Amino acid sequence: MAVTAPRARTVSARAAVSVAVLLIVAALGLRLADPQRVAWVRTFLVIFGSLLIQALPFVMLGALAASLVEVFVPIGTLEKLGRLRRPLQLPAAALAGLAFPICECGSVPVARRLAQRGLMPSAAVTFMLAAPVINPVVIASTFFAYRGRSTLWTMVGGRFALGLIVAIAVGWVAGSRSKDDLFKPNPEEAHEHLTELGRPEARWRRFFVHLGNDFLFMGRYLILGATIAAAVQTFLPTSVLDGLAGTTVLSLVLMMGLAAVMSLCSESDAFVAASFVQFGPSAQLAFLVFGPMVDLKLIALYAGTFRRGFVRTVVVGVAATTLVGTLWLGVLFG
Amino acid sequence: MSDATIQRGAERVRDGRPPPVRWSPARVSGALVLGAWAALFWFLLLTGRDAFYLSTRTEWVIPVAATILTAATIGRLASARVTRPEPIRRRELAIMAAMVAPVLVIAALPPATLGAFSADKRSGFAGTGVATSAIEIGSGELTLVDVAAGQTSPEGERALAKRAGETVDFVGFVTRYDDTPADEFLLTRYVVTCCVADATVAQVRVVNATPGAFADNDWVEVVGAIYPVGREVIVDATSIEPVPRPDRPYLSA
């Protein structure tokens, strides 16, 4: 379906240069003022910078993989997979996450491209949610974080199994909705003409245009999410949770909420989860399964990628299945 | 772009003349944003500032990002000459400015670290797996990571208790809370697994310090005898010297 770009006001080259000069002057002013003398500003900037510096390379790797899918994978390949029956397709998509060892920021652009290239959107969503939880690097880091503890295999196995179940359940909820029902059009691409006088542009040119577009599209939401997450981390003391650690359901909800606001990379969150010794294994699992699927920076990325109603579906679906799953694991394993 | 322009281009093709090729402002500006981020990653790599944001486990992302972003910038610029150039819209310009702003903030400001302000807001270090085991705590030189890990498990506590009275040499920054006595402070260091956002706290209580000699966030080297008392570890200082902030201010788990 052709996407028509809305008419919008354009700017001249002079205006663009003026904005660039303004930014540089503002940076010089910032250097002279040195706002980092104020403790909370310093803390905010350090956390904000570290979130971006760690996550942006993964967004770039995700954009790279997505552009390779867009330009070099024949459209029929993924359409064939899309014709598989859903009970087969969703677990297959979830297990494909095993082969994608990067964290959650990279899986969003890849899922979007997979859906655009013909994979059933629900399978793309399942892949997007599962990959950051079950990939080998994440499982290994969970193993190391809990090594030497009696709960080691509960945490490693529980994270893998529950991650798969939650991802498949949310994919199932997405059902047979089309990609236009789930995904927003990318405004970066809406006005890009990847044809030159009726002929498609060369592959390498399309590859770099898609790569840049995906980075610019995802990057803006990552910056927004990192800003919110850094602000919360600057002011929220983790000790506020201590008094509520003993309450079963509340402790699960709290740990899910904490995972969402901390917005940690799924490759490091196990070390932080393991530090919450006042919480039981179920609550720590809730943190480890929910966080890589729903956090502040991811919600910002989802808001740019999916239609609003589906963002709500993902958040509610992941929260509900994680809660039920961890409650059951609590009953079974304590 | 008007239909007439496209028509003229098509006529040029029919006439056998190559269509006019111009820079696309949208693609060029996108390349500049990519280039700004590429420059930031090279800057972090060449100045060693990556240590202020990432652990040793994840520092590999810096050269990878710098390389991919540089290639993406060059590729986008190389594909920016087109027959149908796209203008930049106001909203896009604002978004691109917002995307470049963090680059300028990070590059313009001097490198900073988490300090005493965050010490009571973050959880304690508990990475007994990667960094330390009870066997490691029980032998060899004691580090702040060993001590912090030793406080989180019964085996670690026992291993640490056997080292009571031994001399340790720790570097960290001074943290004081409202109830900290004047001749004591908490020697603090953050332990980072991937990035500073996941930092956890490793702390020991230093006693026998000269009151008023050191302020919050001052980096010091403390030499003294270590005494684990329950879940707390006390260092009876024999020497406390000011030191410059280490090049790698965070400990890696």
Residue B128 phi, psi (nearest 5): -75, -15
Comparing CA positions, the residue from A160, A182, A204, A247 lying closest to residue A67 is A204
CB spacing of A54 vs B19 below 8 angstroms: no
pLDDT recorded at residue A150 = 79
Q: Which of A115-119, B89-93, B99-103, B140-144 has the highest mean pLDDT?
A: B99-103
pLDDT recorded at residue A100 = 72
Cβ atoms of residues A60 and A109 within 8 Å? no
pLDDT recorded at residue A102 = 63
Comparing CA positions, the residue from B108, B136, B113, B109 lying closest to residue B188 is B113
pLDDT recorded at residue B15 = 63
Point out the least confidently predicted range of A194-198, B143-147, B182-186.
Answer: A194-198
> From the candidates B196, B217, B251, which should be mutated to test the interface with A, based on the most A CB atoms within 10 A?
B196
Point out the least confidently predicted range of A43-57, A315-329, B15-29, B211-225.
Answer: B15-29
- pLDDT tier for residue B162 given thresholds of 50, 70 and 90: confident
What value does the mean pLDDT take over residues A12-39?
A: 90
Q: Which residues pair with B54 in a beta bridge?
A: B195
Distance CA A142, CA A284 (A): 11
pLDDT at A297 over 90: no
Which B positions 30-69 lie with beta carbon below 8 A of chain A? 30-34, 37, 41, 44, 50, 52-54, 58, 61-62, 64-65, 68-69
pLDDT recorded at residue B129 = 46
Q: What is the pLDDT of residues A116-173, one digit of tens each?
A: 877 888 999 999 999 889 988 788 878 877 876 778 899 999 999 999 999 999 999 9
Distance CA A163, CA A1 (A): 34
Provide the shortest C-alpha distance from residue B238 to chain A (in Å): 30
Percent of chain A with pLDDT over 70: 86
CB spacing of B197 vs A24 below 8 angstroms: no
What value does the mean pLDDT take over residues B121-143?
A: 65
pLDDT at B3 over 60: no
DSSP string across A257-321: HHHHHH---TTTHHHHHHH-TTS-HHHHHHHHHHTTTS-HHHHHHHHHHB-HHHHHHHHHHHHHH
Average pLDDT of the residues of chain A: 83
ipTM value, please give it: 0.88
pLDDT at A58 over 90: no
CB spacing of B97 vs A19 below 8 angstroms: yes
Token pair 């010091």 is found at: B220
Distance CA A34, CA A31 (A): 5
pLDDT recorded at residue A262 = 81
- Please name the member of A31, A45, A213 whose beta carbon is closest to the beta carbon of B112: A45
Distance CA B90, CA B95 (A): 9
What value does the mean pLDDT take over residues B229-247?
A: 91
What value does the mean pLDDT take over residues B15-25?
A: 77
pLDDT recorded at residue A311 = 93
pLDDT recorded at residue A12 = 80
DSSP category for residue B126: -
Provide the shortest C-alpha distance from residue B221 to chain A (in Å): 23
Output the CA–CA distances (angstroms, integers) from residue A225 to A231, A295, B129, in the order listed: 10, 8, 30
- pLDDT tier for residue A3 given thresholds of 50, 70 and 90: very low
Q: What is the pLDDT of residues A236-271, one digit of tens each?
A: 777 766 666 667 788 899 899 989 988 887 877 887
Comparing CA positions, the residue from B109, B129, B95 lying closest to residue B26 is B95
Provide the shortest C-alpha distance from residue A162 to chain B (in Å): 22
Q: In chain A, which residues have their Cβ closer than 8 Å to the Cβ of B154?
A: none
Point out the least confidently predicted range of A14-18, B39-43, B74-78, B126-130.
Answer: B126-130
